[in-house]
Structure 1
Amino acid sequence: MAVKVVHPAQADDDEFRARFKREVEVSRRVTGPCLVPLLAADPGAAVPWLATAYVPGPTLGEYLAAHGPLSGARLYGLAAGTAAALAAVHTAGVVHRDVKPGNVVLAPDGPRVLDFGIAHALDGTSVTRTGVMTGTAGWISPEGYRTGVAGPAGDVFA
């Protein structure tokens, strides 16, 4: 498993702790193919933490830097797996908002989308502040740049 532990300085910040708790809540909602499952978490602990399944393999970004573009079956597998992951995320009523090569792991059995740190639940549960642009420059959809609001289409764009 992979464990994310909050730095003690951030654990003392009530706003950060609230965002981390929402990250855990959103992560519990998203399950399905090509996602990294949340196994356990305690956002209320003195040192908050979460644990996910460990996924061996490089991130898509690491792979591209070392080997260049994907092609053929590897490319089609990435496209199909990422689409399946996003379909599951969106069916759960969540928008990832940070789909990028660093948040896709190329596992031996297919890609896995991870990191719901800035995800947004369409029912209003957000892990970021309203009116603040979220995402990674270069991977934010045009509407995200224009309005600061990104929906499922923004995840597909990224």
Structure 2
Amino acid sequence: MAALEPGDPRSVGEYQLLGRLGAGGMGRVFLGRSPGGRSVAVKVVHAELVAGQPEFRSRFRREVEAARKVSGAFTAPVVDADPDAPLPWLVTSYIAGPRSRTRSRSGVRWPPGACSRWPPGWPRR
């Protein structure tokens, strides 16, 4: 996790932001804390997507609705979201784990077959 940068929000909705987990084409993801003290992942959409694409907000709303319908051992449940906020956001449970890129660059080798095993619970065709 990286430290928050000067332009980063310090909170989103009722969630306090603690650090940056990553960023991608849709937005930035932060480690946050809920009012009850629970660790959460907070995704905040890039401003240019909201401003430059009128249909984006409705697409994001559909993404939130679809994500709320998915559950299982291999997904982080949606905790909260606000697709109508000036910068739309989505909060999921935070699931700690190593970043594969960090581990690969560290020189630590993956155990044989670690990336080729079929995950338990995944359907086979």
Q: CA RMSD in A?
A: 2.8
Whole-angstrom CA distance in 2 between matches of 1:44 and 1:6:
11
* Structure 2 residue 107 is matched with structure 1 residue 71: no
Whole-angstrom CA distance in 2 between matches of 1:83 and 1:23:
26
Match of 2:83 among 16, 35, 43: 43
Distance of aligned partners of 1:69 and 1:19 in 2 relative to their CA distance in 1, 3 Å threshold = same
Report runs of 4+ in structure 1 exceeding 6 Å deviation: none
Residue 83 of structure 1, CA deviation: 4.3
1:63-118 Cα deviation digits (max 9, x unpaired):
3343223337xx39x845x342x44xxxxxxxxxxxxxxxxxxxxxxxxxxxxxxx
* Structure 2 residue 102 is matched with structure 1 residue 62: yes
The structure where strand makes up a greater share of residues is: 2
What amino acid sits opposite 1:5 in the alignment? V
> How many residues are matched?
84
Report the 3-state secondary structure (helix = DSSP H, G, I; strand = E; otherwise coil) of the residue aligned with 1:14.
coil
Whole-angstrom CA distance in 2 between matches of 1:18 and 1:33:
28
Between the two proteins, what is the percent identity of the paired residues? 37
What amino acid sits opposite 1:6 in the alignment? V
Q: Which residue of 1 aligns with 2:41?
A: 2
Residue 40 of structure 1, CA deviation: 0.9
Q: Which residue of 1 aligns with 2:3?
A: none
The structure where helix makes up a greater share of residues is: 1
- More RCO (CA 8 Å, sep 6+): 1
Match of 1:16 among 56, 60, 64: 56
What amino acid sits opposite 1:53 in the alignment? S
Relative to the length of structure 2, the TM-score reads 0.52
Match of 1:32 among 72, 96, 100: 72
Structure 1 unaligned residues grouped into runs of 5+: 88-151, 154-158
